[in-house]
Structure 1
Amino acid sequence: MASPKPVTHVIFDMDGLLLDTERLYTEATQALATPYGKEYTWEVKVGCMGMKGPQAAQHIIDSLDLPLSVSEYLEQIAKHYNALFPTAKLLPGAERLVRHLHKHNIPIAIASGGAQDSFDLKTTNHRDLVSLFGHVVLASSDPEVTKGKPEPDVFLVCARRFPDNPDPSKCLVFEDAPNGVQAGVAAGMQVVMVPDSRLSSELTKGATEVLASLEDFKPERYGLPPFDD
């Protein structure tokens, strides 16, 4: 792992990092695939984590050989998302870390591959926490984000929208997915990765640090205020 350098701004991915939504994505996608006799495997899932919606849809259609267009897929999957996403729960350590950084006036933002409608569903019961972020950039809805992760666009756009427009090297990214780590590194940022325990260690390369949980994060390693407790 690289040696951490001091940062001034923090950017969070959301799915599988702040919110336990990756499990819901899997459940919804398998529900769509089952009538076609297909299985949504972990290998297929890893390949599209962090992608913009249409990009991920095409990846799944191609991987599972589904007889659907991207628009048909998105229409069908939306019904499953509408039922499941409002049940999303925060992952361990997420609320503590976000509230700690906000309390100490560290600029924080969200940069996600998702779209506005699904973001609203997932955060139904977490509006108070989301309100602590300075801004949110959603790759699938934001016209300034031309390419999804693993391209760096979403993180670069997110950095520019901080009021003081920091240099990317001063931004720390939190990610769970290989595509997101690649995007953060390509943006010139340090990346703390909190991967699914099933993920091969080969796919964690590039991260500055790999943690089992946000509960294990030590802010002072990056020049940020240490936890009070």
Structure 2
Amino acid sequence: MDAVIFDLDGVLVDSERMWDEVRRSVVAAHGGTWRPEATRAQQGMSTPEWARYLVETLGAQLSPDEIATTVIDEMASRYAGGPPVIDGAPEVVREIARRHPVAIASSSPPVLIHAFLTACDLTSLVPVAVSSEEVAAGKPAPDVYLRAATLLEIAPEKCAAVEDSTNGLRAALAAGMTVYGVPNPHFPPDPAVLAEVTVLPSLAGLPAAIQGGQ
């Protein structure tokens, strides 16, 4: 592999439950109704996509722009006290960055990606950070991964991707990358999708796996 591209939510920060809690509360506060499938459906969606979903599918009585602002402002407020960084994640990024260019390809908005990079002092080590807000479609479409590879100036098939969710894994596979799955314990990915990737029990095993795959 010539580069490693990390997802953010669920891989580097333990934020999937936080996103779920905030979206649920905003939908309830504005007249919508949560559905059992809503959490998994939104994993990987870009901001415009999940904002439309909350309004058009779950019935929240706000415009998509209003609900996106409300949710992201609440997430940013929670991040202000420090992002919920997964133990050891910054150290893994630093170790990988000693050998390979690294990037982030995330469904989070740029403000939250940069909050993580700043809090963990990783900005200089991660030259490329792409939000799905900046591409045509969120995960499981491959757009955000392909954009990250383009900005790194490295062919997608020479990149490794690190993901935790079904839609994220599908996006990285669709981009033609070598995919490492670190399954989210709170929202386990589809076993059929996991069967297509290299599964790691934790992010700590990534550096050795990358080295072994050279």
Q: What band does the TM-score fall into relative to the shorter chain?
A: 0.7 to 0.9
Aligned to 2:131: 138
141, 151, 164: which one aligns with 2:141: 151
Distance 2:36 2:199 in 1: 20
42, 54, 64: which one aligns with 2:48: 54
Shift of 1:137: 1.5
Shift of 1:209: 1.3
Q: Secondary structure at the match of 1:161?
A: helix
Asked whether the equivalents of residues 50 and 150 of structure 1 are also in contact (C-alpha less than 8 Å), the reply is: yes
Segment drifting more, 185-194 vs 55-64:
55-64
Q: 1:70 is aligned with what amino acid?
A: P
Structure 2 unaligned residues grouped into runs of 5+? none
Segment drifting more, 35-44 vs 116-125:
35-44
Shift of 1:157: 1.4
Q: 1:220 is aligned with what amino acid?
A: Q
Q: Report the CA distance shift for 1:78/1:134 in structure 2 as closer, same or farther (over 3 A).
A: closer
Asked whether the equivalents of residues 52 and 113 of structure 1 are also in contact (C-alpha less than 8 Å), the reply is: yes
Q: So what's the TM-score if we normalise by structure 2?
A: 0.86
Segment drifting more, 15-24 vs 184-193:
15-24
Distance 1:220 1:207 in 2: 20
Aligned to 1:212: 201
1:120 aligns with 2:114: yes
Shift of 1:159: 0.8
Shift of 1:100: 1.0
Q: Secondary structure at the match of 1:72?
A: helix
Aligned sequence identity (%): 30
Distance 2:194 2:90 in 1: 27
Q: Report the CA distance shift for 1:24/1:190 in structure 2 as closer, same or farther (over 3 A).
A: same
Query: RMSD value over aligned CA atoms?
Result: 2.3
Q: How many equivalent residue pairs?
A: 210
Structure 1 unaligned residues grouped into runs of 5+? 1-6, 224-229
Distance 1:79 1:208 in 2: 35
Shift of 1:184: 0.9
Q: Report the CA distance shift for 1:158/1:186 in structure 2 as closer, same or farther (over 3 A).
A: same
Aligned to 1:94: 89
Q: Report the CA distance shift for 1:202/1:94 in structure 2 as closer, same or farther (over 3 A).
A: same
Shift of 1:109: 0.9
Aligned 1:26-41 pairs, distance under 5 A: 26-36=20-30, 40=34
Aligned 1:1-229 pairs, distance under 5 A: 7-36=1-30, 40=34, 43-86=37-80, 87-104=82-99, 106-126=100-120, 128-140=121-133, 142=134, 145-162=135-152, 165-197=153-185, 198-202=187-191, 204-205=193-194, 207-217=196-206, 218-223=209-214
Distance 2:39 2:125 in 1: 30
Deviations 1:135-174 (A, max 9, x none): 111221x3xx222221111111111112xx2221110000
Aligned to 1:4: none
Q: So what's the TM-score if we normalise by structure 1?
A: 0.81
